[in-house]
Amino acid sequence: MRHQGLIVLIHCASVLLAQQEDIDSLEKKLLQTPEENKVELLIRLAELYYSPNVKKSLQYSEQALALAKRLQDEQGIYKASKVLRRIHRRFGNFAIAVEYTLNTLPQLEKQKDTLELLDSYLMLGNIYSSMENYHAAHINLIRGVVLAQAKASPELANAYTFLGRNYGKQKKYDSAIYYIKAALVLEGNQPKADYGLGNAYNYLGEVYTDLGRYDEAFYYYSLASMLSEPQLSSFGRTLTYIGLARVYLGQKNYPKAIRAANMAIDIAKANYYRDRARLAYLVLYEIYEAQNNYKLALESYRTANQYKDSIFSEDNLQYIENLRINYETQKLAQQNELLVKETELKNARLQQQRTLVWVAAGAIAFLIMGSFLLYRINIQRRKHNALLTEYNQSLEKEVAHRTRELVQSNLELGRQNSQLEQFSYIIAHNLRSSVARITGLVNILSKFNLPDKEVTGKLTEATHELETILDDLVKLIELKNSSNAFEQVNLPDRFEKVCLVLRDKLKEIKPEIETSFREQVCHAIPAYIDSIFYNLLSNALKYRQLQKPLIVRVTSWREDGKFCLSFSDNGSGFDSDLLKDRIFNLNERFHTQADGKGIGLYLVKTQVEAMQGSISVESKVNQGTTFRITLPAT
């Protein structure tokens, strides 16, 4: 055992020596480097000083951030902010650490930098957990777990550890033990040169201490205490000693508890770990209170509150005041006893009874007054807490409402941008093609002696194609800006009207059309129903299988209080599973056997949604296609 300890010490010494050599080399290089190239050197020095001298690390990282901002170096700003948030997390400056983290999140999400996003989510979860905002901590830690699982990241073990600790702080001990032990399994399978193993041991010891299972807690804290750099930092070692102090307190071994707490305080003070120092002093307070040593208990609690971050409520200040009153009450009681004894010695036996009566009356009055003051203080504190709770709930609802509105607006803006891009493509591609053909024909007409009828026919054909494209675009624009009224629409009449429009094609192809309008009337916009029937029927005629007769079936019915319409054919079809994300997009075509502009199905879907309905499609290659439309009954 001694031999192993010596090896560990030698290894730690060699690591520290190599680190110091790197620091010395970089500081010399820093003096010789131009200002525009100093950002990376400053950040590297801040990282190297982080463990041995966190105050020096703060100095270099702040210099790096200021220089990066002056040079507008975004990457330098992010790296410096990342070091600074870790430093302020250790110092217990939680609000500053959160600010640095949140300032860099939008850039990371935009760049989709998975590893850095994962680190930021875990950091936020840890900070919120330290601030006792367990709900916000859970949200960010779950994001980290999901991201780590998706990318099979080695950081999954740390994510499990921090999530387990957050459960432990909420007294959900089964979940806490499950996740931290899962992290230990991952650490065993993929050991890393970081603080993950030390954190897992410490947090598992913390859970077992809260459960009162002190032997198991002591076992895991002992494992943590045997780790050395880089598996347990000085920051983690403070938590180990604080945990051991709590274990000894639970076992009523007060001398060892005090010694362990003071060791944690020494390390925390040397490294400016305000939050760790605060926790250690709180444990000291509990130890002295258990020993009925109220004077030292009060001093420990006062010192703990000097380290308290501004994020905590004022309840603890009131608790300190109560301790002070309790301590002064006991002191006054002792002084009263001395006065009574002195009075008994000075006064005659005849005045002794009278003196005792006055002392008793004064004590009763003092107790009544003290009780009344404590009662008033308690009422004020409850009112204050109730107002804070009500305000927080109102604020959370308002934030959630504004967030939903913002998400909806972003989605709508995204859809509109997509549609604008698709319109631009149609105008740029389809109109350009038709105009090019017309221009070419006019040039041919001017240069060559061709029969006028042939050129005129081709010009007429190109012009008709251009007119068709413009008509489709006008329909889409009218659809976006229309305010057509709903009315009762007779489906058989509307379908017959569309068949009359397409009568020439129907005579040529001679399809078998089967209609079954079990629900003949629906509440809709008549022009949209005509357009839907026209586009679906014309598509069935265009994309039929040439080797067999075309069969078209149209059915309507009512289901679950809604109007349903089915339109199917046995045409050439397509793979709807493979193309499901593209079927209703603008300018999408899945067949080359017939001309098309890729607008029809987009127009159908837009009209259905304008009537508060929905449309779905099932299709297989050479097996036909079925469209199902659902509309509100009223």
Domain coordinates in residue numbering, the chain: 233-333, 347-481, 484-632
Helix (H) or strand (E) holding 475: helix 452-481
pLDDT tens digit string along 575-619?
Answer: 878 877 777 776 666 665 656 566 778 888 988 998 999 999 999
pLDDT at 626: 95
The CATH number corresponding to 233-333 among 3.40.50.300, 1.25.40.10, 1.10.1040.10, 1.10.10.60 equals 1.25.40.10
pLDDT surpasses 70 at 556? yes
Which pLDDT band holds residue 554 (cuts at 50, 70, 90)?
Answer: very high
What does each C-alpha distance from 550 to 49, 514, 553, 571 come to in angstroms?
A: 79, 11, 10, 7
Which tens digits make up the pLDDT trace of 1-25?
333 333 333 334 444 445 566 788 8
**536 Cβ contact partners less than 8 Å away, ≥ 6 residues apart:** 567, 604, 627
pLDDT of 490 higher than 90: yes
User: In this model, does residue 45 exceed pLDDT 80?
Assistant: yes
Q: For 553-559, what is the mean pLDDT? A: 94
pLDDT tens digits along 381-404: 888 788 878 888 888 888 888 878
pLDDT at 31: 81
Q: What's the pLDDT score for residue 565?
A: 95
Q: Which residue has the higher pLDDT, 535 or 91?
A: 535
Query: How many Cβ atoms from other residues are within 10 Å of residue 214's Cβ?
Result: 19
Average pLDDT score, the chain: 79
Return the pLDDT at 335.
Answer: 60
CA-to-CA distance for 255 and 252, rounded, in angstroms? Answer: 9
Q: Radius of gyration of the chain from Cα atoms?
A: 39
Most confident of 166-180, 267-281, 430-444, 474-488: 166-180
Element holding 488 (H helix, E strand): strand 487-490
Q: Residue 193 above 70 pLDDT?
A: no
Please give the pLDDT value at position 543: 87
Residue with tokens 């926790």, as numbered in its chain: 279
Helix (H) or strand (E) holding 627: strand 624-632
CATH architecture of structural domain 484-632: 2-Layer Sandwich (3.30)
316-346 per-position pLDDT tens digit: 334 334 433 543 454 466 567 667 777 777 7
Asked if residues 573 and 620 have their Cβ atoms less than 8 Å apart, the reply is yes
Cα–Cα distance, 622 to 573 (Å, whole number): 5
Report the percentage of the chain scoring pLDDT > 70: 78
* 3-state SS, residue 616: strand
Residue type, 65: L
pLDDT value for 170? 93
Three-class DSSP labels, 141-194: HHHHHHHHHHCCCCCHHHHHHHHHHHHHHCCCHHHHHHHHHHHHHHHHHCCCCC
Q: Is the dihedral of CA 54, 58, 64, 65 positive or negative?
A: positive
Who has greater pLDDT, 525 or 459?
525
- 283 vs 255, 296, 308, 325, CA distance in Å? 13, 12, 14, 21
Tell me the two tokens of residue 451: 């029969």
Please provide the distance, in angstroms rounded to a whole number, between the alpha carbons at the two ends of the chain: 83
Q: Which residues pair with 490 in a beta bridge?
A: 521
Q: pLDDT band at 89, cuts 50/70/90?
A: confident
pLDDT exceeds cutoff 70 at 458: no
- Give the Cα separation of 283 and 212 in Å (integer): 15
Q: Give me 336's structure tokens.
A: 């009263």
Q: How confident is the model at residue 466 (pLDDT cuts 50, 70, 90)?
A: low
pLDDT for residue 473: 58
What angle, 0 to 180 degrees and rounded to 10, lies between the N-to-C axes of helices 94-111 and 114-130? 160
CA dihedral 236, 241, 247, 250 (to 10 degrees): -120
The residue length of the chain stands at: 634
The CA distance from 540 to 624, in Å, is 9
Of the chain, the percentage scoring pLDDT greater than 90 comes to 24
The sign of the CA dihedral 121, 122, 123, 128 is positive
> How many angstroms separate the CA atoms of 577 and 366, rounded?
83
174 or 579, which is more confident: 174
Looking at 190-199, 284-293, 524-533, 585-594, which range is the least confident one? 585-594
